[in-house]
Amino acid sequence: MPSLVSQSHKALKGSATIPGDKSISHRALMLSALAVGESRITGLLEGEDVIATANAMRAMGATIERVGDGEWRVHGVGVGGLMTPADIIDMGNSGTSTRLLMGLMASHDITVTMTGDDSLRGRPMARVIDPLTEVGATFAARDEQYLPLTLTGTDFPVPLDYTPPMASAQVKSAVLLAGLNTPGVTTVREKVATRDHTERMLAAMGADISVEQEGDIRVVKLVGQPELKPITLEVPGDISSSAFVLVAASIVEGSDVTLEGVGLNPLRTGIVAALQQMGADISVINERFLGGEPVADLHIKAAKLHGVTDLKVDPSTMIDEFPVLFCAAATANGTSRFTGLEELRVKESDRLALMAAGLKANGVEVIEFKDGIEIKGAAGKVPGGGTVATALDHRIAMSFAVLGQMAENSITIDDATPIATSFPTFTGLMQKLGAGLILGD
């Protein structure tokens, strides 16, 4: 369990390319593994979570290989062609792999047993088990809803008309992916719009999918059993990983950083708007399209941030970025208050509890609520000096690595290994920009 010590007051300078988007990388592997023909993917995130997806799709019959120059080639089995794996599949830390794959498996006549690490085995799966049971799949899960679990898919899947009870792109995608091998039309009605990478990629691969707004409800309809065309895709940089650099460059005096080719899907860009609302100096330049997704370069200069109590951003557009936003708030002038965030308690860790504990351990005053947090900004003078427990949560680890860059004393992160799940090049990339990060044994 190597620790990571973060301390510096050195400005971050230069430009960097952030690794590929995790959500898009998962979907690119899953959907190209169901296409007929060869797909070619570049810029795929080569983090542990995405590798878990690749291994699972291989175990169910797809051919996935990395060729020279970082290109990935996938030979699909066709919709309906998944096979029962020869062994249990281990999803590691990845909730996205687990939930989306459960959707795919549910409408195939296969049986799969899945497990994962301590964090993943503690995450609720009822949110996908419930709708997928209506599709016709059956489940044997520990305590009804936790991994390890065995899923038996059905030969006669039922097309759902489903309204997820929580804002969740994973639940939406699981239902849509089950709809792929289901005759008839599968409908998902979202009360809150969530990231739409599944919809965009299915449309790009020739599926008959429509998205319409009915009042406040976003209605997605997918006609089942399409023949998916293979794709040639360049995965944009991950805005969720970029968020760590956006905050670091905003809070360390004198910083000036450019990030190239960051994915700016409008259902993912809440972190940019939130930081701008707090006074950050971020400009969006060179806007373009890459693989059906909007992309741009981001230019960030350090700025004096102020607290925010009326965040004008929909939490679903930045659900993974709250931990690092809390760190930005800890450095700001004035108090910040964030609510409506109960979903943060069921991420890779209970992110409200862990962020509150980590901030307190580093001298920041916080009040934790059931669904949020209040943070008293230290006006540029975070004491630091504490050790943070990361509980297998990559984003907690990286958030405090960022905060340590401006704290008065170093911040120690107890375990740096989870960073490899989503941003394996984080430490080196940050060091290249000038960050002070020391990996322990």
- Shortest separation between residue 49's beta carbon and ligand S3P, angstroms: 9
What the block records as the tokens of 83 is 């096979």
Q: Compare residues 137 and 201 and give the one whose CB is closer to ligand S3P.
A: 201
- Give the count of alpha carbons within 13 A of 183, CB side only: 3
Q: Is 196 a catalytic residue?
A: no
H-helix segments, 45-89: 48-59
Identity of the amino acid at 205? M
- Cα 362 to its chain centre, rounded Å, is 26
Q: Using a CB cutoff of 8 Å and minimum separation of 24, what contacts does 114-118 make?
A: 114/88, 114/89, 114/90, 114/147, 114/148, 114/149, 114/150, 114/151, 115/88, 115/89, 115/90, 115/91, 115/147, 115/148, 116/90, 116/91, 116/92, 116/147, 117/92, 117/93, 117/392, 118/392
H-helix segments, 107-185: 118-121, 126-135, 169-180
- Shortest separation between residue 426's beta carbon and ligand S3P, angstroms: 16
Q: Compare residues 164 and 386 and give the one whose CB is closer to ligand S3P.
A: 164
Q: Which residues of this protein are in contact with ligand S3P, per CB under 6 A?
A: 23, 96, 168-170, 173, 195, 319-320, 343
Q: Compare residues 132 and 435 and give the one whose CB is closer to ligand S3P.
A: 132
CA angle in degrees (0–180, nearest 5) for 352-276-20: 70
- Shortest separation between residue 349's beta carbon and ligand S3P, angstroms: 12
Q: Compare residues 103 and 307 and give the one whose CB is closer to ligand S3P.
A: 103
Q: Compare residues 321 and 374 and give the one whose CB is closer to ligand S3P.
A: 321
Q: Compare residues 139 and 322 and give the one whose CB is closer to ligand S3P.
A: 322
Q: What does the alpha-carbon distance between residue 22 and residue 137 come to, in Å, rounded to a whole number?
A: 27
Peptide bond into 148 cis (omega under 30): yes
Task: List C-alpha distances in Å: 201 to 24, 30, 70, 283, 359.
Answer: 9, 11, 21, 28, 39
Question: Residue 181 gets which letter from DSSP?
Answer: T
Q: What does the alpha-carbon distance between residue 241 and residue 395 come to, in Å, rounded to a whole number?
A: 9
Q: Which position among 320, 393, 414, 415 bears the catalytic label?
A: 320
Contact 301, 255 (CB under 8 A): yes
Q: Compare residues 238 and 297 and give the one whose CB is closer to ligand S3P.
A: 238
Burial class of residue 269 (count of CB atoms within 10 Å of its CB; 0-12, 13-18, 19+):
buried
Q: Where are the beta strands (DSSP E) in 343-435?
A: 365-369, 372-376, 387-388, 411-413
- Shortest separation between residue 319's beta carbon and ligand S3P, angstroms: 5
- Shortest separation between residue 360's beta carbon and ligand S3P, angstroms: 24
| Residues classed as catalytic | 320
